[in-house]
Structure 1
Amino acid sequence: MPTAFHHASRALASAILLALALLIHLQPPASVHALESARVPRNPYAPPPSARTPTLPTAAATTPSTLLASTPGATPDPLGEWYAVGHRMAQEAMPYYRTFAVAEKDIGKRLTEVLSALGIKADTQLKNTELKLLQQGWDDAAAGRALALTYPPDQDRSIVPPALRGFFRFGKSSPGAGVETLADKAAEWKKAVVKVATGSEKGVEGHGTGFIIGPGLVLTNNHVVDGSTHFAVQLEADNTIYDATLIAKQAVPDVALLRVQLPEDHAVLPIGISAQCRELEEVIMVGYPQFIELSATYVKGSISSTNRVFHDCEVLQLDIRANPGNSGGPVISTEGNVVGILTFGFGAVDPKLAQFTFAIKTDTVIPFLEQHARGQYSRQVE
């Protein structure tokens, strides 16, 4: 069985907010299950020890909130992602610092403390060049200066630790790589969807669907895992099967969280804001229907109603046909955020009601994730 544990993830707003809460003496969410800290992956773009630190060009001041990694004038560099990530982290942190009146002279010192709160020990886990670039990007954004460095246009994957990933997308999703179609996006989303096999010492007894939300974390339904003692997940890309451990589950909402050792640099799906959903908006469901031998399939439909309650839980009603095995699968907005988790389809009871399907609103799942995932999951930036 593969043993590599951590994969691609990002410190989205939830993780940064948690870090900031620690630093400005707010009360962070309670923790029940501590997760392993992310180890730093090998840097395939790192220069030899004799190579010099990239020279940062002088940049004029501008409004931080308008800056992107593809900002005109930013110089591509093999290590530019480190600088760009520091820049974006500061952009997201500055509103909180202003709200809590953190002195400008102290903001530069906060980066190391934020990294520590995210499980990254800057003095031992990062190279001097990497930390220097992170700090420079942080300082430039805090001072309102434009992005000076960015990653190369042909960079195909992130080179920063998992907890810092997700600010930028690579490969076909890189800035300037062309317009993505829905099919392009869905192909990427599918990489984060897994088959969840359940059973006992006697073998596999059933299956459902789950999706990767952070390093080693798979979210699915409680009713998928309930009553089972053995769990495994299977990746779509190569059909590799990995043993999984049940971290937590609850009946309302119908969710469960698994921990699994996955390869590094694996895709994740961010938890979206279901309150922003509107009726008739298009959504895509990805799941493993009916037979365990089948690969993942897509179903495209729309939100019929945003105001439904099913089994004491707030749900979205979908104009989507769901089959047994799809339970626990993500319902994804066209922007790539999970806004619902499939929980029940009436088509399994009556074929005439096949397109009468319910998905748990992701907003109702946040307290569960904050308690059991400790912010180590990807979330949509508000």
Structure 2
Amino acid sequence: MTDDDGPPIGVLDTLRATPTTVRYLLGGVLVNQLGAFVQTFLVLYLTHRDLSDGTAGLALGAYSLGTVFGTLLGGEATHRFGARTTIVAAMLGSAPLVAVLPLLARPGLVPALLVAIALAGLAAQAYRPAASVLLSDLMPERYHVMAFSMMRIALNTGAALAPLIAAGVILLDWDLLFWIDGATTLVYALLAHRLLPRHAVPERAPRTKAERRADGRAAYAGMLRDRAYLAYLAAVVLGTVAYVQSSISLPLEIVHDDYPTWLYSAVLTASSLVLITCELKITAYITRIPTHLAVGVGHLVNSIGLAAYGLAVHSGAFVLFGAVLAVSGLMIAGPSMFAHPATFPDGSKARYLATMQAAAGLASAVGPLFGVWAWTHLHAGFWVLMAVVNGLAGVLAVYGTRQRAQRRTAAAAAADQDPVGETV
């Protein structure tokens, strides 16, 4: 997205243009993410409670599957009931499900545990489309990419600090992880109910169940016919599969090459610091160029970083070099990719955002399994494969975003020629 309607966008300009309600929204996202311990520590917790490795793996799979369906459900709920209602309902549902997990983490209660974990994953992610819709509706359009960059920073800051908080909590009691997670989720629900605006449903809901089902089928059928958006979704899947290897296969590479474990800690710390401190400033620059160019350059830089990991066998410096390039590519491409579904009309925006987030969630679940299998067979060659996969994601992303931009330009031109006409 380029800024054609005014001077270049800066960080301070964006902060001044950010409504108070958006600050509340982003603060709630940060609070919720600070206490999001389930997915990160679920396997360790269940094995600590003497459940088998197989059960722990099933539990993580159940949670991941729940998150995929949760984002789709959240998109539908946002479309029908509005953003604030969806956020509050999702968080109120998630809090008790997470808090009860320690009571179910016993060998005789595995079926109930798996159901609760799947439902917890569903509820935990159902708020994401609603938050994205609310963000895009409350921020002026020229600041959308910057706004989604701020949301990414809130999520990444929480994700970076949560393990540090968890490390101290575990010393006291493992069960506290889940009780704190439930408590922060409840706090987010209360903040959303108290501080976020009552947000209207994007379009008037059909009167009958049959009409609602027909409306939903038509919306998703339209997505399936949209080759540009399908290309974008494929880019999200492939790019996410490549992205997760930095936390899955990279540690295997570091151990295989006989480097100390502190090297991986240094990679995580450096990546988090660069991402949190630099992304908003970089986003201010990328808003000045076409979206397809930003996502193309970002994927290219990221691919070079992934390929550099393959040279780690020669020097640990390539690990740090690759990490800096990988996170730089992510900062260049990520905000525009994250904001892209918000360019669709209000009546379908929630569903487009939900499908994007569901695609990313599915790739995050499948990526580790594929990565470990492929790395054990290819080793250093694996990183060349990941660079190619990410490069293909970049090509698809460029096509998808460029086609969308051309359609919007054509629709705007048609509207200028026919002011009483209706754009799509």
Coarse TM-score class (shorter-chain normalised): under 0.3
**Larger % of strand: which?**
1
- Where relative contact order (Cα < 8 A, 6+ residues apart) is larger, the structure is 2
